[in-house]
Structure 1
Amino acid sequence: MPVVLSVAYHSLDALQQLGDDLARQSLLPFRWLVVDNSPESAPLRADDLSGGGGGPPLELVAGREGDGFGAGCNRGFEHLARQGWGGWIWLLNPDTALPAGHELERLSETLAQLPPRALLGTAVRAASGELEPSGGWIDRGLDFRRRRVSEARLASAVGSAAASAAATAIPGGGAVQLDWLSGCSLLIRPSAHLPPARFDPAFPLYYEDMDLCLRLGAAGAPVLWWPALAVTHQRGAGSQTPSERRQRLSTLSYLRFLRRHRPGWVLALRNLRLLLMTLLRLPGRPKRSWATLVAMAEAMGPFPTASPAVPPRR
């Protein structure tokens, strides 16, 4: 069974609901590890998450106030590595739900048949049942994220993959080969990679999951999406970040992603478009616009020294 890892920031209510879902599973995870990225402003307590008991073993790890998803995951990875854990880790957002009650049991069968270096994403559905874009392909040109998983593309991709023998045979259906997966529901075995897989701290908010998939994929790791298993995303019920800070960090991640993974002309045109839109909005939204301009200036500087090496594009 995998360890379930959730990174939390002011998300107690959502975590309590996820804890209830984990306790109802037909097979419990090995452990539920929660990294608290608000240890000063809203510290979590084990009693608040354990409910009435009967759930998986719970362990809280104090993160750093205001850290993002990738930094929290890395802290959890390091914590588990120090304890000698070399198995699978299921990254689950606090605002996800496991409605069927047997998701862990199905995963245990699936993970036994996967290559250890694989990354496996599940389908993510909104509360309405609509499939969310939890994975996709990277295309050339400006609109590089236009091909995301959808109901129509799912049927086409699964059929095409099966016909070309590109689907991986796992219980409940084939896994589709993608370029990137969402960290909302992602399984990874960090110790199977050399060096051990970690998120890049250069991406403080968003794009850290895409960057990880592209880096590991370039090094030969299979990046697979398994639509036969789905989690529900309670959008808006998870971590909450002040808007100006969110704007600065998300813009910084976006521009650094373009620098690393897209051609220079795409970066230049996207920068120009972002600058023009920001200047137009400056009179009506000065704080958010200023946060964008600060991020654009910061993105022009060097990547943080802790950033991992990036394999050459194939």
Structure 2
Amino acid sequence: MAHTTLIEQKFRDPFITAKGETRGSVDWRGLKTLWLNTGTLCNIECRNCYIKSSPTNDDLVYLTLGDVVPFLDEIDELAEGAKEIGITGGEPFMCPDILAIMEEVLARGHTLLVLTNAMRPMMRPKIREGLLALNERYGDRITMRVSMDHHSQPLHDAERGTGSFEIAGEGLAWLAENGFSVAIAGRQDLAESEDEARLGYGALIERLGLRIDPADTKALVLFPEMIEGDSPPEITTACWGILDVDPGDMMCASQRMVIRRKGAGRATVTACTLLAYSPEFELGDTLAAATEDPVQLNHPWCATFCVLGGASCSA
């Protein structure tokens, strides 16, 4: 009973762990990546989607160009030069303003990392035409990162639905044929080693004719599996030394994400890409407000994905 009670008390107090230790936190180190979440609507519903995207989930509504511009203005005011702007969802190519948002980001000189499933929304004629035009003008600053849940069709389709592996492969091949810089975001199956996963993705990359080195950890990103309801260890201030991990390497030290909740009057900023549904990680409606205070690592995914998993969504 005591063990159960301890588990139930984990990740509750923002400053103290269930064992009474001081919770780890992360100070702001300066902007590296600003993420734009274009909304949680998606053309598919993945079994383990961390943000619960689906054809019916509009808890996060589509961002408009008007939502995005004030945050880009704030970056300009920093006078620190070009930043990485990441675009995620949902499926970004369902967002009506996606091409206009991409154009605005690139016209200001930033680099662009677009996360997509490379399926039907991206392959619509209007979107393809717009992407080709953007790639012709700004191709050296655009990376299209395509999510593939596994390098084999059975495991990928089990997560994303029958036929999704083949359709995503068609999208990846189209991107490669048209000269886009392409990366893959995959998950490492729990039954295989990282070397085995990279070997499997390497065979897929070769089959699709992609210019990706499977050993390149930025071009083939393998994310740790996150399971809702999991109970990893809580991160304390002592963990940085014990694990030999620098808090400055955590996403929330240099990244923020812009979202707009359904019914909200304006877009707001969250601490990272993973925690859009946790109100304590919604930090303000400007970048300035969202970077004033340390981020308390009071969520299981802070441990699983970032501190213990060593992962980051940025390039």
TM-score, normalising length: structure 1: 0.30
Q: Which of 1 and 2 has higher RCO (CA within 8 Å, sep 6+)?
A: 2
TM-score, normalising length: structure 2: 0.30
